[in-house]
Copies of this chain bind each other. A is one copy, B any other.
């Protein structure tokens, strides 16, 4: 069934067992991506289960191959322990396919901590990048996405890590969203220069230094209230803060829309109002929808790795694969390596 693509490395290795709706929705998304995007995909997971799902679709002419492995990492497992205990887990096999030149990108809607561990162990870090960062592409009020990073790959950051996140985030928004000079901001507790805890204050100076050399378009500090505004393209923060901010955003949106839903269903007249406004609510929900953005890129490793939301259905999986393909075509890791090397002198702490 597989049609070898012209360049064998131009394939996306897909963790078929990652996410709450695996393998069904993952295979469905892969078929869509292969069909609509003409993307070569290596499906990584237990062959019988994959074949069973694939049998539901007409896959003729699609570049879909299977890489068998039985080892799977659960969503709630301890990442480092699980990756080390099962070296043939789907994630590590994806990384190996990249290392062997059989794929140039990987994608998973599984355990994000395990993706980070498997990528660092399997692909290695880009030279000069002490810690990778995971970025969340957030929907905003302007309709333009903002990349928030790090959202938790590294919980105890140092100033030079944050400066590298600025470079890496900038490269991602250039490569994937075609923004020539991404506006990069630093998350702080006030807009003025000099605000922030010690980490942020020190990072501010380092980012100013690389901005002065034209390496990033640094617009200064933003506050928590600015995250959903969509006025900047990249917001840099430590992984602990980013994790809290991302989860708070999800929780609060759900709480607010839930409260409105409860009121609408509280009586028939409100239900009528809800019916009239159905299209309006759908538009607002579409504005909050981040499935189009394809998931969170892991930046700073020697290969493309995209992590999708655990709740991903086929459409989100398809977009995750598309973004992985794009990042591979853009040779994102090479671009990040160049940027980091050039900025090395400015970002390395004395």
Interface residues, chain A, CB within 8 Å of chain B? 140-141, 152, 155-156, 187, 189, 196-198, 200, 223-229, 237-241, 243-260, 263-264, 266, 269-270, 272-277, 279-281, 283-284, 287-288
Residue of B nearest to A187 (CB): B244
Q: List the B side residues contacting A270 at CB < 8 Å.
A: 276-277, 279-280
Beta-carbon contact of A249 and B252 below 8 Å: yes
Q: List the B side residues contacting A288 at CB < 8 Å.
A: 256
Beta-carbon contact of B240 and A259 below 8 Å: no
Q: List the B side residues contacting A249 at CB < 8 Å.
A: 224, 248, 252
In the bound complex, CA of A239 to CA of B276 (Å): 43
Beta-carbon contact of B244 and A224 below 8 Å: yes
10 pairs, CB–CB < 8 Å, chain A vs chain B: A140-B255, A152-B189, A223-B244, A227-B252, A228-B248, A263-B283, A264-B277, A269-B276, A273-B273, A277-B277
How many copies of this chain does one complex carry?
A: 2
Beta-carbon contact of B251 and A248 below 8 Å: no
Beta-carbon contact of B197 and A240 below 8 Å: yes
Residue of B nearest to A198 (CB): B156
A151 CB to nearest B CB, Å = 9
Residue of B nearest to A259 (CB): B284
